[in-house]
Structure 1
Amino acid sequence: MYNESVIPVKTESFSGMAAKSTFCTLKHNLMNSFYCSSPLSQCIQSVLRRACVEKRLTIGLLPAIQYLSSNCNSALFCLTAEAPPGDSATHMQEVLLQAFCAENEIYTLKVDSEAKMRKMLGCRTTADFSCVLVHYPYTDPFSDSQDVDLTALSDAEKDLIDHCESTWGFAQVPVIKLPEK
């Protein structure tokens, strides 16, 4: 269904067999159609735009880390862009952030371009868009229930959750190719 927008990850391993096994699993699960725009990238666009309008985004790697240190239960998705080659400091921060998200059951998505994410949100600034947190929809503060209301999620958010659930056990998060437009 969303297979066309996923780019195969490059696994680095001491064992060529482990790398081949991981790629074969990705290839099998995602049916080898990686490079076209798809409904998955459109779901991301829909989720980002809705969350932006509803003011439930945290933009930037350091603001995301700061937010998660005190509010990890209110984050739904963590979208990260691929770090530029050779930027080991950003890469280490992203790896730690992804591990934190996995530990706290926050869905992580990796996209191919920080610039495309910035463009999706209609921002013209050069701010850091290497990480975008999408928070759960706001709930009624006077409600007795402290649980997240899953009926408040949009169809696009539910589709992204399904995608994340299907890739949860992967060693590396597959990279989603965002549309150029």
Structure 2
Amino acid sequence: PGDGRLSRRRMEQAGDALEEVLSKALSQQSLTLGVYEAAKLLNVDPDNVVLCLLAAEEEEAGDAALQIHFTLLRAFCCENDINILRVSNPARLAQLLLPAAGPDPPADLHCVLVTNPQASQWKDPALSQLMCFCRESRYLDQWVPVINLPER
């Protein structure tokens, strides 16, 4: 539509693509979970990060420290041309990522980085679709588009 927003269908497709990217990244061990771990990785190896996800429950909106971390992560990602998305349903993100986390799952899923394990493996249609979604969103001045992971 011409109303300056992406269509619901486009957003659903992006949600499906994100789920696929996370599933692949999990199996390839190319995820970094947690705000502090993400900040450390971004500091030493930003060129290998292909996607940054931010996720918070609505009641965490008042958490000043978390919001400052999000602001800094957003700024860093924008400066380093790293695509960034906000996940609107963190509980679904936890469902996708934590079963494989082993007996001691990380407490912090507020930030998830997808890294590029071997460039050849990332000729990935789902990742390309997400990159396109991010680019279209920026074109519409939505610098951190919100995405909803599909419930299964």
TM-score normalised by L of structure 1:
0.71
Q: Is structure 2 residue 36 aligned with structure 1 residue 62?
A: yes
- Is the helix fraction higher in 1 or 2? 2
Alignment check: 8 A CA contact 1:79 1:110 kept: yes
Alignment check: 8 A CA contact 1:37 1:179 kept: no
Q: Is structure 2 residue 56 aligned with structure 1 residue 52?
A: no
Report the Cα offset of residue 29 of structure 1: 3.0
Q: Report matched runs for 1:100-139 at 5 Å.
A: 100-123=76-99, 125=105, 127-139=107-119
Q: How many matched pairs?
A: 145
Q: Is structure 2 residue 53 aligned with structure 1 residue 79?
A: yes
Q: State the identity as a percent.
A: 30
Structure 1 unaligned residues grouped into runs of 5+: 4-24, 140-148
1:163 aligned partner: 133
Alignment check: 8 A CA contact 2:32 2:113 kept: yes
CA-atom RMSD in angstroms = 2.5
Report the Cα offset of residue 39 of structure 1: 1.9
Report the Cα offset of residue 101 of structure 1: 0.4
Structure 2 unaligned residues grouped into runs of 5+: none
TM-score normalised by L of structure 2:
0.83
Report the Cα offset of residue 178 of structure 1: 1.5
Q: Which has the higher contact order (CA 8 A, sep 6+)?
A: 2
